[in-house]
A = this chain, B = another copy of it.
Amino acid sequence: MNAPWTLERVRALRERVERERSESYFIEGVRFVVAASDAGARFRCLVLSHKLLRSPLGQMLARRLRARGIPALVVSPAEFRELSQVDEPQGLGAVVASDWRPLPGDGPSPEDCWLLLSEIRAPGNLGTLMRTAAASGARGLIVLGSPTVDPLHPGAVRASMGALYSLTLVRTTFRELVLWRRRFRPAFIGATPEGSQDYRAVSYRRPVVLVLGSERKGLDAAQRALCNARVRIPMVTGDSLNLAIAGSLLLYEVWRQRCRSPIREPSALGAP
């Protein structure tokens, strides 16, 4: 773990197995490094290409982080481009320590809303969901050690637009989750086209865990067994919504019901 970070080791972080082994992941872009720094993330190493790093904010941030003793791997523009997943790399990246947590031992807070995910094929969908989760004030993600849900995948991190750092990432086992549920009794609400209730007809006023299935197969048997209620999002046509869309509609419905200042009745618009 204390071996210096080389270009090759950073590149290897594209693979989940290497992220697991080193308990690290790679982020890039000034916006992301700022978000990580603001959130107090543990930096293992900066990755810098001085020629590409033109942003004054990015330059200042790099100096500040180096002054705090964080090592830097300085690479050429070509090397940085090869690491990067964006069209116009900004020349600033970082290897950050993964920050997985256990389920909160004192149970969920009254206002908690968690997302429980068992399988997501598209990392971009996961990142988009994380972005909406943070925007709607959700507490975080619960992942069941499944290799198919990884919020630290480069595509998920990028699509989260920094929201990663507003969420708590919990990794646990099914057994632990069942015990936690029995002890603290939050509402587990599963989303599925076969749900018996409209998602807007269920109360989310106590702590809630939203359970989302996979894009293709929906809720699996283990997920269904956890749910207190299964809800559907009504549709005029089609048989399902994109997973990130479905999750986002649920997240905003939870928030809507909890808003202290209720939304006034819609007012008519003036004539155009």
Contact = CB atoms under 8 A, between A and B. Distances in A.
A48 B266 CA distance: 52
Interface in A180-209: 181-182, 185, 187-188, 198, 200-206
B272 A187 contact: yes
Contacts of A161: 238, 240
Nearest to A245: B248
Nearest to A242: B128
**Size bracket of the A interface:** 35 or more
A263 interface: yes
A78 interface: no
A2 interface: no
Given A236-B136, A245-B132, A267 B201 contact: yes
A203 B270 CA distance: 10
21 contacts: A124-B124, A128-B242, A128-B245, A131-B241, A131-B245, A132-B245, A134-B237, A135-B235, A137-B237, A166-B237, A182-B272, A201-B264, A201-B267, A202-B266, A203-B266, A203-B268, A205-B266, A228-B270, A244-B244, A248-B248, A257-B266
Interface of A: 124, 128, 131-132, 134-137, 159, 161-163, 166, 181-182, 185, 187-188, 198, 200-206, 228-229, 233-238, 240-242, 244-245, 248-249, 252, 255-257, 263-264, 266-272
